[in-house]
A = this chain, B = another copy of it.
Amino acid sequence: MYLCSKDLEKFFNPKSIAFIGVSRSNLHFGGVSFMRKYLEAGYPGRLYPVNPKAEEILGVKAWPELTALPELPDLAMVAVAAPQVADVLQTCGQMGLRHVHILTSGFGEMGTDTGRRLEARLVHVADRYGMLLIGPNCMGTYRPASGLTAWGAIPGRPGPLGIISQSGGMTQRLTEYTDSLGLGVEKAVSVGNGTVLNAIDFLEAFGQDESVRVIGMYLESVSDGRRFLETAVHVGRRKPIVVFKGGETGPGARTAASHTGAMAGDRILFESAARQAHVTLVRTLDEWVDALLAFAFVPRPSSDAVFVIGGGGGNSVVYGDTCIREGLNVPALSQASMDLLCEIVPKAGSIAGNPLDLWETFTNTGSLIQVIDLAEADPAVSVSVVDRLIGRKAYHMPEGPDPTPEIIKGLKERNRKKPVVFVVDGEGGDPALAAQAASARSAFGAAGHAAYPTMARAARALARVCRYYEHLAPGNPPARSKETDGVWV
């Protein structure tokens, strides 16, 4: 279905929401837990709980039926039991309420005749009234700028991401995860069984949405391969699309069938289509977040030549390996850079070069900034990747205040053009170290710098950004290959 921006408005910025299926007593996940979250998050619009047996729900006046509401709400959220959903939908249609989100599960994803029959009825009603339906079996929409944050990061941070997902849980975790790293969401939608509005509809809509700069999708199945490919090619020219595809293996696909009622598509076909459309494919939640972070925070680099700044001989060796393995280039520095480094890098116990093994960059912010400036001036490199070792006794390091604010300040003081990405390792089971590393990553993110827990994750994300922009280079526009033309229908 073609969604115009006006259609999106009522889903992502509703002035009023009706809740059908809000119990007074059951405080578990469902209509009433959504409503409570809207209240807690300070949703600024009007909430209309519909419940014939209640005077009020969570302190908000309740209405005996949908038709009794004092206005036609922008959005209805339906959480009644599956067999009753079609009747509610029918009422919505008759009232002229076009925007409906169905939270209820128990439809096509059950794999039963009953489930399929109930789902077919929904589609039938929606068709009759020209309704825009999200669901069933999903979490619906999320937009921090509208105070629409019933799930995921709460209250949530507005930002450049547009998220489209066939998993509510994945979307919740994603928004929470990126939010913690200083990266916010413009619009997110969990589409569930995608009976009326599906992931491709939202991809098309987000493609035209100027507020969405980077698109992230979690997909288990694609209902129309050709349309997905065409839409992705079109949208992918304007903004990066990062797709996390689930259901690629036997057990994954088997579960996907029970999850959203859809058959997961053929992995090879999907990968081929994604490659043609210059979609970035990822395989885990972490890779998904890492890539989104890089696309959102790292300005287009002029090449994939990185300068790896850190300390420790072994680290330098494996960081060089890691960057190369993930598809980056770790070039020799220019003579001017090497001349400067040979002045400041101790001859024994450190290594002047790329990667740079200069322990002082861990303990002396001035020294780190000096090295970053060197990269800024060196035509051989395009991006700096800085390893930020948190000072600790295992390394005979003096304990001191967290240098992160000083580093961020130092980076802001001059207008540098080359991106700087950070690695802050706090892996393991030490809560204090984990918290310090998370804080530092969060602070770097809030200042607009992508920060990762490991070099491997930073390098993989950066390489994905480089590949995307290479494809967009003039003379090499994304195009559909003829080879799979006949196959992907």
Contacts and interface: CB of A to CB of B under 8 A. Distances in A.
A440 to B, nearest CB: 8
A342 to B, nearest CB: 13
A33 B393 CA distance: 10
Contacts of A249: 320-321, 324-325, 330
Looking at chain A's contact residues, the main secondary structure is helix
A396 B33 contact: yes
A323 to B, nearest CB: 7
Contact of A286 (B320, B431, B454): B454
A236 interface: no
Contact of A351 (B259, B312, B317, B433): B259
| Most central of A324, A435, A455 by chain B CB within 10 Å | A435
A341 to B, nearest CB: 12
Contacts of A137: 349
Interface string A163-192: 001111110110111101110000000000
Nearest to A363: B28
Nearest to A352: B258
A249 B354 CA distance: 13
A45 B106 CA distance: 69
Nearest to A104: B348
A351 B313 CA distance: 49
Contacts of A426: 434, 438
A394 interface: yes
B429 A445 contact: yes
Interface string A235-270: 000000000101111111111101110001000000
Contacts of A251: 320-321, 323-324, 330, 354-355
A49 interface: no
Interface in A406-447: 425-439, 441-442, 445
B255 A320 contact: yes
Contacts of A395: 151, 169, 172
A119 interface: no
Contact of A430 (B247, B393, B442): B442
A96 to B, nearest CB: 30
Interface in A374-401: 392-396
A252 B394 contact: no
Contact of A255 (B105, B351, B392, B441): B351
B317 A167 contact: yes
Contact of A431 (B153, B318, B435, B454): B435
Nearest to A103: B349
A2 interface: no
A106 B348 contact: yes
A431 B392 CA distance: 18
Contact of A433 (B180, B247, B284, B359): B180
A296 interface: no
A368 to B, nearest CB: 18
Given A246-B317, A394-B151, A396-B33, A170 B312 contact: yes
A52 interface: no
A232 B137 CA distance: 54
A76 interface: no
A456 B286 CA distance: 10
A72 B289 CA distance: 58
A105 B312 CA distance: 13
Interface in A124-158: 137, 151-154
B325 A106 contact: no
A150 B122 CA distance: 69
A321 B248 contact: yes
B442 A167 contact: no
A314 B218 contact: yes
Given A172-B395, A251-B323, 16 more contacts: A33-B396, A173-B394, A176-B430, A180-B433, A181-B429, A247-B317, A247-B321, A249-B320, A249-B321, A250-B324, A252-B319, A284-B456, A285-B454, A426-B438, A429-B451, A431-B434
11 contacts: A154-B394, A167-B313, A177-B427, A180-B428, A218-B314, A252-B319, A254-B320, A259-B313, A283-B325, A286-B427, A427-B453
